[in-house]
Structure 1
Amino acid sequence: MANIKIEMSKEQYETLVESVFLGSWMVNSTKMELDEAFEDVRELVLSKYKEGNLEDRITHHEQLGVHDLDVDYESQLLATYVEEYDEFSFWDKLVEKLVEKKMTELYGPLEGEMTEEHMEKRLELEENIGRKLEETGVTKLSFDE
């Protein structure tokens, strides 16, 4: 197996550390067992922390043989990127699910490719529901139970 070497600036290394942390966090955050392939890459990248002058952000746990981000640095990354992503994806997914529900009410279960009429209606619903949610948030959502 051929090894790959990458040269990068310290700023690029810091961005790589953040990217690898966020990527492995996303992959593993919902699993009972860690994805070892992602963890191996994470460990490899973090192990170069001294070369990247990130001693204040990455620590090595000798007993466990692993590297970790400093708790404050990790919290900062989660707050900066994950919370923003969660907020955006929540609204995006909510619109998608509400549109699917409305489309099923209007046309029954849609199977196969959508007709042009269905696509136009879906776009119209996405726009209307998205605008309504932007104006009111979830305060006007109701469920008939």
Structure 2
Amino acid sequence: MSNVKIEMTKEQYQTLIEMVFLGSWMVNSTKMELDEKVEDVRELVLSKYKEAGLQDRISYQEQIDVHDLDVDYESQLLDTYVEEYDEFSFWDKLVEKLTEKEMTELYGPIEGQMTEEQMERRLSIEEEIGRKLEEGGVTRLSFND
């Protein structure tokens, strides 16, 4: 197997670290066991921190043979990217699920491709639900059962 070498600036390396951290967080945050392939790449990327002079952002935990981000740096990344992503994906997923519910009520379970009429209706429902949620948030949601 051949090796790949990449040269990058300190800024590019720091961006790579952030991308690797966020990617490994996304892959592993919901699992009981870490994805070893992802962790191997994470470890490889973080292990070059001294070459980039990032001792203030990354440290080596000798007792467990793992490189870790500084706790404050990690928190900053989670606050900056994960919180925003979670907020956006929550609303996006909520609109999607409520639209699916309404579509099922209108057409029954849809198997296979939707008709053009169904696709147009779906878009209309998504827009309506999105508008209602934007105006009132979850406080105006109700369940009539």
**TM, length-normalised to structure 1:** 0.99
The CA deviation at 1:63 is 1.0
- Match in the other structure for 1:126: 126
**DSSP 3-state at the match of 1:138:** helix
Q: Supply the RMSD in Å over aligned alpha carbons.
A: 0.5
- Match in the other structure for 1:4: 4
- Tell me the number of residue pairs that the alignment of Structure 1 and Structure 2 aligns: 145
Distance 1:72 1:81 in 2: 14
Opposite residue 2 of structure 2, the aligned amino acid is: A
Alignment of 1:16-35 (within 5 A): 16-35=16-35
Opposite residue 85 of structure 1, the aligned amino acid is: Y
Distance 1:98 1:52 in 2: 48
- Match in the other structure for 1:97: 97
In structure 1, stretches of 5+ residues that fail to align are none
Opposite residue 51 of structure 1, the aligned amino acid is: E
- CA deviations on 1:103-140 (whole Å, 9 max, x unpaired) are 00011111111000000000000111001101100011
- CA deviations on 1:14-60 (whole Å, 9 max, x unpaired) are 00000000000000000000000000000000000011111001000
- Match in the other structure for 2:55: 55
Opposite residue 137 of structure 2, the aligned amino acid is: G
Opposite residue 128 of structure 2, the aligned amino acid is: N
Q: More helix by proportion, 1 or 2?
A: 2
Distance 1:49 1:78 in 2: 20
Opposite residue 76 of structure 1, the aligned amino acid is: Q
Distance 2:37 2:52 in 1: 23
Distance 1:51 1:41 in 2: 17
